[in-house]
Amino acid sequence: MDITAIYPGTFDPVTLGHIDVAGRAAKMFDQLIIGVAASPGKQPHFDLNHRCDMVGEVLSEFSNVRVETFTGLLVDFAKQQNASVIVRGLRAVSDFEYEVQLANLNRQMEPDVETVFVAAASQYTFVSSSIVREIAALGGDVSKFVDPLVESALKERNRK
């Protein structure tokens, strides 16, 4: 039986930490869909299509990965995509409480969709999209945290 998993997030922008988690998940499941959430409440820095394009480009080497955007509930998106697994990355103990809450809420709404946690690589445990945006906005070097394509997009965005 083929298993399709979804790795959701805002990816504003995608970091090497996200790529690490996605790469591990791509090896575990037959199909991996990266679900780029609109997340209007977070007032994203990059628009939805740009975030989606960047994720697609940095993960283009994985033949079983595709990228989709979604605007509603994650569980509805999972059903629509025939996905039975949600993948979430865990960086540190501090992620755990929130992640278990999300997993339980999603399970209440859709018991057939299981959440699987992937441990992020230790060198990325302190990386987050907002920290990357802040370093870039202040003229710092983000090359250790993001793909060169994302680094260029941040520079371009900060020039405006």
Would you name the residues annotated as active-site residues?
18, 42, 91, 129
Comparing every residue's Cβ against ligand COA, the nearest one is 17
- Residue 105 CB, nearest approach to ligand COA (Å): 4
**Using alpha carbons only, what angle is made at residue 39 by residues 122 and 79, rounded to the nearest 5 degrees?**
85
Taking residues 51 to 90 in sequence order and writing x for each that binds ligand COA by CB under 6 A, - otherwise, the string is: ----------------------xx--------------x-
- Residue 28 CB, nearest approach to ligand COA (Å): 15
Taking residues 9 to 28 in sequence order and writing x for each that binds ligand COA by CB under 6 A, - otherwise, the string is: xx-x--x-xx--x-------
Stretch that binds ligand COA, among 5-13, 46-54, 59-67, 148-156 (CB under 6 A): 5-13
Q: How far apart are CA 8 and CA 11, in angstroms?
A: 9
Q: How far apart are CA 136 and CA 157, in angstroms?
A: 10
Q: Which residues pair with 82 in a beta bridge?
A: none
Q: How far apart are CA 41 and CA 20, in angstroms?
A: 26
Q: Is the peptide bond before 40 cis (omega within 30 degrees of 0)?
A: no
Cβ 88 vs Cβ 100: under 8 Å: no
**Interface with ligand COA (CB under 6 A):** 8-10, 12, 15, 17-18, 21, 37, 39, 42, 73-74, 89, 91, 102, 105-106, 120, 124, 127-130
